[in-house]
A and B are shown apart, each in its own frame.
Chain A
């Protein structure tokens, strides 16, 4: 499968990574190379094989539905590039 420029642009938008137009050709070629190599998986007969969704044979534990932590807004927001009054600040999203 080879990716065209439009597909790379779409995937980059989905991934929220700005890609300049001048990089699209190069990226399309590189990603097509990797995907082409991945396509050897089509040789494998996977009929009736259940997808592996968990590595270890274990049941996930349930925990009590109680508050164990919290009240640390200051610590949580301490690393924010921009914050105010214990909140994160983002560009205005409402017109």
Chain B
């Protein structure tokens, strides 16, 4: 069936005219309709998809196919798409149809990709379960063996991960501020890479925490994620923090191998209470890389335990500033009030969900007079120490191997009573955001009750190539072929 092909396979079949872009798109639109109960898509754009596909076929016929010609993709609802509803999972952006296209999505269209629709997510990308979306939770296509409990796909890119796992999209855009690409990829048996900060333009992506946000792809193989990332990357004068560096041919790096590489194993990532099967998978990952010719090296990242608390000062602080723009004046929801201030307060009270409000309040508090030094400035100092830990480690190693998450996917509704318990989901991923480093999650094995578990590879800044090569070595050794029930 065409929906189980990889992007690389589909690209070759399209080029060889063994398959038309229209057939490929129609198959995905069918899969999208069939898996609607997952609530992965918040907006479906079938007419646009068909028109994109027909145009792709015309180009292929003329021998003018581009890198992603005819490949159907889903777009996280955080990316502004011209004329297509963009809500960031929030009530406050009701009805917002951007008059412009984000740089990353426009690069994908210029590479010939087909847009299937917009994908569900935690509100403003704040969450690790997709439970905070105004459009309701996304269901993970995976279930525990022999159980009917509905599980979360992770978050915030939960719709992206669920659609790719359910084969209703060949790949998807996603964003990662503290783990929002890698954690859902791990929970759904997919591959997700957060590139180096600055690799992808943030222009046109609804801002959460600007010093941490980075776009990246979710796909089903390391090669596919390399193909997508190459198309998404590159300097953009409209984002002053986007890096003016050439974009390597990531796909060419995938099969580079790991012979001679030194792989850091950070002892601080052995955390009390981590399930044994996650520890075991990590050890297995070390053995796989050793077998492939790499050398494991024990390293220390001494400030690891402070990464989450640092994140929960810096991210809310930046969010409280970024989300000040939602005022009921320029776009989205407006709830009337007698005065301008009352209108702001009513609009924001009705428009934001509980988690977003919590983070805006924390951010406002840590930035307020009298607390700025004690919280915000201190967090920025500790962030510098976390980044320094990595700089020192990378003097000795080429890449770092860790688990992606401290557990497999949990049930919908779980961990909702205690914000801090939910935050701990990102314990292994958040460090890469704070230091601005690339990180990939690759499926490694199934848990005892049949759920996917991921391994994470963190690399040096702008060395995604090594990250892909190590990720591919894990993928090759893990031979992860399991699919969620109901997926052919």
Contact = CB atoms under 8 A, between A and B. Distances in A.
A18 B348 contact: yes
Contact of B343 (A30, A50, A51, A91): A91
Contacts of A61: 237, 240, 244
A6 interface: no
Interface string A60-95: 110100000000100111111110000010110100
19 contacts: A12-B361, A15-B360, A15-B364, A16-B345, A18-B346, A18-B348, A31-B361, A37-B312, A38-B379, A44-B381, A55-B198, A58-B244, A78-B99, A79-B95, A79-B331, A80-B329, A81-B332, A81-B334, A91-B337
A17 B385 CA distance: 34
Contacts of B387: 52
A22 interface: no
Closest 8 pairs (CB-CB, A-B): A51-B380, A81-B334, A55-B436, A79-B331, A52-B384, A46-B381, A18-B345, A18-B349
A23 to B, nearest CB: 10
Contacts of A58: 198, 241, 243-244
Given A18-B348, A46-B381, A50-B384, A33 B420 contact: yes
Given A41-B379, A44-B385, A50-B384, A56 B198 contact: yes
A51 B377 contact: yes
B333 interface: yes
B197 interface: yes
Contacts of B357: 17
Contact of A15 (B312, B313, B320): B320
Contacts, number: 166
A75 B82 CA distance: 11
B368 interface: yes
Interface of B: 95-99, 196-198, 211-212, 237, 240-241, 243-244, 303, 305-306, 309-310, 312-313, 320, 324, 327-334, 336-346, 348-349, 352, 357-358, 360-362, 364-365, 368, 375, 377-385, 387, 418-420, 435-436, 461
Given A34-B420, A79-B98, A81-B329, 20 more contacts: A8-B361, A11-B361, A14-B368, A16-B324, A18-B349, A30-B419, A31-B358, A33-B419, A37-B420, A39-B309, A40-B309, A41-B313, A55-B197, A55-B211, A55-B212, A80-B329, A81-B333, A81-B334, A82-B334, A90-B343
Given A44-B385, A49-B385, A56-B197, A16 B341 contact: yes
A33 B237 CA distance: 42
Contacts of A54: 211
B213 to A, nearest CB: 10
Contacts of A33: 418-420
B101 to A, nearest CB: 13
Interface residues on A, range: 35 or more
Given A18-B349, A56-B197, A75-B99, A91 B338 contact: yes
Interface string A1-40: 0010001100111111111000000010011011101111
Contact of B241 (A12, A52, A55): A55
Contacts of A30: 358, 419
Contacts of B198: 55-56, 58
Contacts of B383: 51-52
A41 B309 contact: yes
Contacts of A75: 99
A7 to B, nearest CB: 8
Contacts of B97: 78-79
A40 B211 CA distance: 22
B203 to A, nearest CB: 13
B429 to A, nearest CB: 16
B380 A53 contact: yes
B309 A37 contact: yes
A31 B384 contact: no
A46 B382 contact: yes
Contacts of A77: 330
B328 A17 contact: no
Contacts of B333: 81
A80 B325 CA distance: 13
A63 to B, nearest CB: 7
Contacts of A49: 381-382, 384-385
Contact of A31 (B243, B313, B365): B365
Contacts of A27: 358, 361
